[in-house]
Amino acid sequence: MIPAQVIEAKRDGRAISSSRLRDFFSAYLAGEVEEYQMSAFLMAVLFRGMDARELDDLVEIMLGSGASLDLRDLGAARIDKHSTGGVGDKVSIALAPLAAELGVYVPMMSGRGLGHTGGTLDKLEAIPGFRTDLDLGAFRAVLEAVGCAMIGQTAEIAPLDRRLYDLRSVTGTVPAIPLIAASIMSKKLAEGLTGLLLDVKVGSGAFMQSEERALELARVMVGLGAARGVETEALVTAMDRPLGRAVGNTLETAEAFRCLAGGGPDDLRALVVLQAAAMARLGDSGRTEPDAIAAAEAALDDGSALRRMERLVEAQGGDPALVSNPDGFERAPVVRAISADRDGRLARVEPRALGEAVVAMRGGRARLGDTIDPRVGFLLCVEPGDALSHGELLAEVHAADEAAADAGEVALRNAVRWDDEGGPLRPLVSHRV
Instruction: Return the active site residues.
Output: 82, 161, 168, 183, 187
* 71 touching ligand URA, by CB under 6 A: no
- Asked if 91 and 212 count as a contact pair (C-beta separation under 8 A), the reply is no
Residue with Cβ nearer ligand URA (46 or 279): 46
CB of 192 to ligand URA, least distance (A): 17
Total residues found in the chain within this entry: 433
Instruction: State the Cα–Cα distance between residues 377 and 246, nearest whole angstrom.
Output: 8
Which helix (H) or strand (E) segment is 339 a member of?
A: strand 334-339
Site residues for ligand URA, 153-172, by CB under 6 A, read 165
Q: Are 414 and 353 in contact (CB under 8 A)?
A: yes
> Which residues touch 176 (CB under 8 Å, ≥6 apart)?
42, 45, 46, 49
Q: Which stretch binds ligand URA (CB under 6 A): 175-183, 302-310, 323-331, 347-355?
A: 175-183
Binding to ligand URA, residues 214-253 (CB under 6 A): none
Among 93, 184, 198, 271, binds ligand URA (CB under 6 A): 184
- The correct pick among 126, 180, 234, 299 for binding ligand URA (CB under 6 A) is 180
CA 366/CA 114 separation, integer angstroms? 10
Residue showing the smallest CB distance to ligand URA in the complex: 183
* Nearest residue (CB) to ligand URA, 179 versus 222: 179
C-alpha dist (Å) from residue 387 to 344, 347, 384 = 6, 9, 9
Among 88, 97, 111, 320, indicate the residue that binds ligand URA (CB under 6 A): 111
Task: Tell which one of 3, 85, 88, 264 touches ligand URA (CB under 6 A).
Answer: 85
Phi/psi for 341 (5° steps) reads -100, 15
Check residue 127 for interaction with ligand URA (CB under 6 A). Answer: no
Q: Indicate the residue among 114 and 411 with the shorter CB distance to ligand URA.
A: 114
Q: Least distance to ligand URA from the beta carbon of 328, Å?
A: 30
114 interacts with ligand URA by CB under 6 A: yes
Q: Pick the closer one to ligand URA by CB: 45 or 416.
A: 45
CB of 184 vs ligand URA, minimal distance in Å: 5
- Total binding residues for ligand URA by CB under 6 A? 10
Q: Which is nearer to ligand URA, 59 or 292 (CB)?
A: 59
- CA separation, residue 267 to residues 58, 68, 91, 126, 421 (Å): 35, 35, 10, 23, 21
- Residue closer to ligand URA by CB (options 121, 395) is 121
Shortest Cβ distance from residue 189 to ligand URA (Å)? 12
Torsion of CA 357, 362, 366, 371, to 10 degrees: -160
Cα(227)–Cα(36) distance, integer angstroms: 33
Closer Cβ to ligand URA, 126 or 174, answer by number: 174
The strand ranges marked E within 104-205 are 106-110, 148-152, 195-202
Nearest CA among 89, 35, 43 for reference residue 358:
89
Note whether 183 binds ligand URA by CB under 6 A. yes
CB under 6 A: which stretch of 14-22, 123-131, 177-185, 359-367 binds ligand URA? Answer: 177-185
Amino acid identity, position 319 = D
Q: Which residue from 14, 62, 78, 271 is spatially nearest to 168, judged by alpha carbons?
A: 62
How far apart (Å, rounded) are the C-alpha atoms in residues 21 and 38? 12
For residue 174, the minimal CB distance to ligand URA (Å) is 6
Tell me the C-alpha distance between 178 and 212, whole Å: 15
Least Å from the CB of residue 165 to ligand URA: 6
Residue of 84, 120, 154, 173 that binds ligand URA (CB under 6 A): 84
Strands 106-110 and 148-152 turn out to be parallel
Residues that bind ligand URA (CB under 6 A): 84-85, 111, 114, 165, 174, 179-180, 183-184
